[in-house]
Amino acid sequence: MLTLQLDALTTVALALLLLATGAQLKKHSYWLRQLCVPAPVIGGFGFALAVWLLRDQQWLDIKLDTAMQTPLMVMFFTTVGLGGSLGLLRQGGKILFIYLGACWGLALLQNTVGVVMAKALGIDPLLGIMAGAVSLEGGFGAAAAFGPIAESLGTSGATTAALASATFGMIAGGLLGSPLARYLIDSKKLVVKSEQSGELQALAKASEAAPVVAIDAGMWLRLLTSVLVIMVLGFWIGDALKAHVGIVLPVYVGAMFVAILLRNLNDRARFIELPDNAVSTLGDVSLGMFLTMAMMSLKFWELEQLGLPLLVILVVQVVIMVLLCVFVLFRAFGGNYDAAVLCAGYMGHGLGATPNAVANMGAICDHYKVFSYKAFIIVPLCGAVLIDLVALPLITWFINAFS
């Protein structure tokens, strides 16, 4: 079988082509627009499917260099930080803790369902845990970390099962999150309006009153310089916390909080001009590129290694997630537009990873033309950082208890 190795630049160029293709397909497809399927998912998913078919027929194996995926992800979250405020975190404190509690509860629920279903289907309970919070809420990182541990305890094929389950969850979370939120918004006839703190409302009124600033070369230079400096500072903060405190954070967290701090200082001192329309444009481009690359990298052939019992467990997990969002969490999150966007994010990272959550929320906000800063700050913060405080110890306990 031939192997085609794409370098980093070629991979980025291909991602842009697929992103543009996905956007055009969505533009001309009524059903894709109705379902709010993100353009990166359309283009990247189609490419990953084509790679799988070519590989399955032993014709061609395409390998990607996704070195630029992480910088693009950090760039996007930096632009989110530049559009947010610390006041929003204070104003949305109750929802933040409710969402965090839902994340912690989901880790327990997914592992419990995995163990119960595994015993009912007559397979090793550890395989059920691999199809639980390890691969779903934990994603590929936790799957790769805990799979070998389960194998060392005597569970054959645990790593393969975990990685395959993570692939299943990534696909399910990416495809179901946005349609679920769209169903909630339309069926409940929600007012499409994002809750904002007084500070953000003032900024929104100011932006409505002021004309859109023209984006010229000087503006792009200031914006890119600011964003890249923030990204570097964020990387330094993450490295310092890891080296001196032993705290390991996702790479984008430091940059996002530096950006939030800069935004709030700039609102008061006005030392640099960073128009919202320029920031959002850069954010849209970086988001689309990194999500497309994430979807391009899906390995569908790992799903072939899923046995029927594991597949049954995963289907049950997805059904429970949908029911949980529709009948419990939507109301708990406030029962409004922000709550629907939060449910889209919850489906994304609860079944896959933070990029899924971002894609789902981005598709909904783009469809209704209303951005939810609350969701875009709470979901990454809880789903990728604070959840580990409880989820990882829970996973460890389940593995030890049922090994």
Read off the pLDDT of residues 234-266 as tens digits, 9 standing for 90 and up: 999 888 888 888 766 667 778 888 888 888 888
User: pLDDT tens digit string along 176-230?
Assistant: 999 999 999 999 999 888 765 433 344 344 444 444 667 778 888 989 999 999 9
CB 383 within 8 A of CB 136: no
* pLDDT given for residue 330 in this prediction: 96
First to last CA, the chain: 40
Q: What is the pLDDT of residue 210?
A: 43
Kindly tell me the number of DSSP H helices and DSSP E strands found in the chain: 19, 2
* pLDDT for residue 306: 67
Check residue 93 and give its pLDDT: 65
161 pLDDT more than 90: no
pLDDT, position 247: 67
47: pLDDT strictly greater than 60? yes
The predicted pLDDT at position 95 comes to 83
What does the DSSP assignment read for 149-207? HHHHTT-TTHHHHHHHHHHHHHHHHHHHHHHHHHHHHHHTT--------HHHHHHHHHH
pLDDT in tens, 77-131: 788 778 665 555 555 568 888 998 999 999 999 999 999 999 999 989 999 999 9
pTM, 2 dp: 0.66
